[in-house]
Amino acid sequence: MSIQRNALIVAATAFAYFLLFRLNALLFSSLEYSAGVHWIFLPSGLRLVFVLLFGPWGAIGIALATVINDYLYQFAGDLTALAGAGVIAGFAPWLAGLICADLLELDVELENLTGATLLKVALLFALISPVLHQLWFTLSGLTENFINSTTVMFTGDLLGSLAVLYAAKFMLTLVPQSGNYQDP
pLDDT, residue 182, reads 47
Give Cα 21 distance to the centre of its chain. 10
Task: Please give the single-letter amino acid code of residue 106.
Answer: L
Share of the chain above pLDDT 70, in %: 90
What's the pLDDT tens digit per position in 112-162?
667 787 788 889 889 999 999 999 888 888 788 899 999 999 999 999 988
CB–CB of 62/19 below 8 Å? no
pLDDT, residue 146, reads 92
Query: 147: buried, middle or exposed (CB in 10 Å: 19+, 13-18, 0-12)?
Result: exposed
Task: Please give the single-letter amino acid code of residue 75.
Answer: F
Does pLDDT of 77 surpass 90? no
Give residue 110's pLDDT band: very low, low, confident or very high (50, 70, 90).
low
Residue-range domain boundaries for the chain: 3-174
Does pLDDT of 19 surpass 90? yes
Cα dihedral 135/138/144/145 (nearest 10): 10
Give how far Cα 155 sits from Cα of 42, 49, 107, 115, 132, Å.
Answer: 11, 18, 27, 19, 15
What's the pLDDT tens digit per position in 51-71?
888 989 999 999 999 999 988
The matching CATH number, chosen from 1.10.1760, 1.10.20, 3.60.21, 3.40.190, for 3-174 is 1.10.1760
Return d(Cα 32, Cα 97) in angstroms, integer.
26
CB–CB of 150/34 below 8 Å? no
Kindly state the average pLDDT of the residues 11-15. Answer: 96
